[in-house]
């Protein structure tokens, strides 16, 4: 049984944003309660909660938390507190567009607010709707993508795009989970996903909890497995997708896509339409987050001793962008988009739920 990734909780002293601390998995399953927006921001920054849809849900709940715990005497002061929280949350991670999509939805409520108590309730309701919306979208993604995975298929995935990266079902792993429910013999190759090992720590943990056979591999083993004919398809998530289909995902995804193309293996992206940034014509405009060099030098915090020489320069981008030309299909809640993506994704723009262009 997988715990809820992020949810609203009522404590004795007031509400909290509750989540499983993903930095401790798989060795410890600890549930934490954030009672301030500063704690929510810290949880997003240090990856206690991670994955584009989950970050969006967490940010929405964070805004609702500020409203619920505020002692503001009037709507003007409450709105000022909420907008300050919005700025803090928006500054946590730049690449995941779902963060800004969720904040846009909460902003609509803030801007239309006229009374303190009604605003508190409206923001709580909207945050809950965003969480439920993500669950609905992910289950639809799973159903739409399951048809792409055949009986006895070996599927390779990179990073974690499962229940832990969403409100509780998953995008890439949601597809695999749905397929495993109707077909026999499905097996998953799990890239360890350096430098933070989200595949080895999180994806393998999820799949084992779900009873889906999986095998962890080092990232640099994927090409060899493809050459040996042991990979039937690749399915990954996304943190931001440009209008033309260029997709940003965890660093290393582009390498997987190049290898898959060379070996004529289909490469699929699974993501809700809220991940599509229709304002970006290509992936060149996607901001790439640069992470702490210590995440590379100290092996995801699992070793006290540095794995690199003292003073060595380290480059630590968190994401890369896979060109649309290398993507066989983008699995969404509306269906499977095929090239050219400007047309196929464009047809579903109204279903994205994004504020701009609706």
The answer to whether the CB of 141 falls within 8 A of the CB of 133 is no
Is 358 a residue of the active site?
no
User: Helices 97-111 and 52-69 meet at what angle, rounded to 10?
Assistant: 30
- Choose among 273, 277, 309, 314: nearest CA to 293: 314
The partner residues of 233 in beta bridges, in order of sequence, read 155
Set 134, 154, 239, 320: catalytic member = 239
Q: How many CA atoms lie within 13 A of 178 on its CB side?
A: 22
**Which residues have a catalytic role annotated?**
239
């Amino acid at each position: 049984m997988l715990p809820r990734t992020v949810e609203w909780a009522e404590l004795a002293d007031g509400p909290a944003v509750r989540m499983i601390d993903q930095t401790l998995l798989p060795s410890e399953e600890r549930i934490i309660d954030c009672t301030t927006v500063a704690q929510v921001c810290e949880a997003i920054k240090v990856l206690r909660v991670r994955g584009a849809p989950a970050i969006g849900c967490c940010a929405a709940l964070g805004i609702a938390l500020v409203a619920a715990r505020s002692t503001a005497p009037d709507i003007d002061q409450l709105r000022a507190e909420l907008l300050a929280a919005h700025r803090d949350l928006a500054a946590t991670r730049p690449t995941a567009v779902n963060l800004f999509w969720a904040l846009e939805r909460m902003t609509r409520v803030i801007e239309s607010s006229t009374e303190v108590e009604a605003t508190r309730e409206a923001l709580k309701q909207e945050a809950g709707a965003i969480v439920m919306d993500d669950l609905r979208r992910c289950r639809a993604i799973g159903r739409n993508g399951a048809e792409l995975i055949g009986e006895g298929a070996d599927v390779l995935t990179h990073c974690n795009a499962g229940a832990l990266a969403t409100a509780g079902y998953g995008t890439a792993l949601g597809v695999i989970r749905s397929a495993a429910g109707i077909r026999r013999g499905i097996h998953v190759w799990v890239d360890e996903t350096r430098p933070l090992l989200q595949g080895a720590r999180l994806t393998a943990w999820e799949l084992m909890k779900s009873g889906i056979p999986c095998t962890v591999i080092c990232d640099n083993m994927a090409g060899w497995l493809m050459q040996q004919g042991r990979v039937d398809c690749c399915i990954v998530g996304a943190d931001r997708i440009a209008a033309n289909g260029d997709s940003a995902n965890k660093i290393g995804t582009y390498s997987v896509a190049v290898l898959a193309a060379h070996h004529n293996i289909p490469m699929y992206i699974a993501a809700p339409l809220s991940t599509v940034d229709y304002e970006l014509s290509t992936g060149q405009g996607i901001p790439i987050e640069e992470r702490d060099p210590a995440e590379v030098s100290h092996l995801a915090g699992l070793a006290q001793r540095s794995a690199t020489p003292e003073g060595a320069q380290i480059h630590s981008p968190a994401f890369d962008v896979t060109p649309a030309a290398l993507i066989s299909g983008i699995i969404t809640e509306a269906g499977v988009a095929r090239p050219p993506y400007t047309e196929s994704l464009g047809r579903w723009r109204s279903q994205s739920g994004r504020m701009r262009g609706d």
